[in-house]
Amino acid sequence: MVIDVGEKLHIVYRSLYEKSTRRHFIGTVVAAKDALCRIEGYVFIYDVRKTEFIKKPELRTTIIDLAESGYVVNVIDNNVMLEDLHYKYAQDIGLVVTDDRGFMLNINEFGAKS
């Protein structure tokens, strides 16, 4: 199995059409069978008025088939506290997910400042 219970993941839901809601999920795998994973964590939704990702405060459980083409999945270091993660723009990098304590994940797919 490629994904193990206890791993922390950052998941980008690919947009199905131009005006799709941009949604990300950050969580811990609590069960996995092949690429099907039950993940507990937080949803981040892009707010077009504020031009930033907003974290929903409630903890959620979702089931995702990570082998589907609708997701981009990044593995997060197990030492990172998911509750502390947020999005911000970093100079000369662009949009990142960070805990402001050393962890930073550049999530720009199309260059340094997309």
CA-to-CA distance for 49 and 70, rounded, in angstroms?
A: 25
Domain boundaries, the chain: 8-106
Q: What is the pLDDT of residues 81-95, one digit of tens each?
A: 999 999 998 888 888
Query: In the beta sheet, which residues pair with residue 8?
Result: 28, 76
pTM of the model: 0.85
What are 89's two structure tokens?
Answer: 């723009």
Nearest to 56 by CA among 98, 20, 23, 28: 23
Q: For residue 27, how far is the Cα from the chain centroid?
A: 8
Is the CB of residue 61 less than 8 Å from the CB of residue 40?
A: yes
Residue 98 has pLDDT above 90, yes or no: yes
